[in-house]
Structure formats: C-alpha cells, structure tokens
Amino acid sequence: MNALFRHGPYLKLITRDGINSGLIEEKEIEVEDDNGTIYRYLMPVDGGASDTDGASNPWLAQVISHLIGLNIDPYGDYYPGAVVHDFIFRRKILQWLNGQWQKPTYVVSGANPAIGQMDMDRANRIFRALMFGLGTDNAKATVMFEALQEFGNKAWNDDAGV
C-alpha cells in the first residue's frame, strides 16, 4: 500500500489547549492498494478542536522511545499521518465513492474499500504508508504500526465516541 497527501503534506490546524487540534482547511489523501486501485479520502473541516491529538503515544512509551533513540513523540515527522489516523479512528474521514464524498461503513475486519468500508487494520496500514511517504525511518514506523496493531483496539473503540 502507498499513500500520499494531495498538494503536499501540509495541514492547517488550530489548537485551543496545546494538545488537541482542529483542522481548518480540508485535506485529501490518496491511497493505492497493493493491486493498484486508488482510493481517495477527505478530512473535512468540522470546526472541532479535538480532531487530533497527534500520535497518541502514552508518556511512558515516549520516555522509553527517547531512551532507546527512536524519539517517538506526538509531533514527529509522521504528524500529518497521525492526523489522518485520528480522523479515521474518530469516524470523521470521508471516502470518494460513486461520485460523491461519503462516510465509510466501519466494520470489525475484512474492510472492502471498493464498497466504502473501513476497519482498524486498514486505518493502521494507511498510517504506516503515510509515515513512509513522509520520510519516517523504517524502525520508527514499524514500532508505531506494530503498537497500533497490538494495542490500538481500545483507542479504536474509544475514539468512535469522540
């Protein structure tokens, strides 16, 4: 899978508390699946101050990552990808389907994007692809992806209610 931001990875955000930020200009993402099919997603502006909190790494994980030299904090080079990930987890992303922007149907597993489905595994793989596209080194992207796959269920369920 490959993923990129249309018109560059720059996001316009506003924060009210220094942690949570809201998108103030919509942003489109293209995802190319391994079979070559391209899907378009949109992060719309909804005026919220809690669209994202960056890469939601627990403080202990941040400390450990700094001690071993990975330096995984909420605002690294992967930050734009983390914003997309939060939009997907918080059920705010839209998908271009049948000639219009639509909310994906969230499923437990086996998402079929051709019919507008999203699941946690696809969300995590999109984030990983965006991290690589943003120049995040392999070790850091792999650790973050594996941590999401292993421990992301709680956030997946909690963020649905945000």
Give me the residue spans of the domains in the chain.
2-159
- DSSP string of 11-70, one letter each residue: --EEESSSS-EEESS-EEEEEE-TTS-EEEEEE-----S-SB-SS---HHHHHHHHHTT-
* pTM (two decimals): 0.90
Tens-level pLDDT at each residue, the chain (162 residues)? 999 999 998 999 998 788 888 999 999 999 999 999 999 999 999 776 678 888 776 656 666 776 777 777 777 889 999 999 999 999 999 999 999 999 999 999 999 999 999 999 999 999 999 999 999 999 889 988 988 898 888 889 888 765
pLDDT at 20: 86
pLDDT at 19: 81
Q: Does residue 33 contact residue 1 with C-beta atoms inside 8 Å?
A: yes
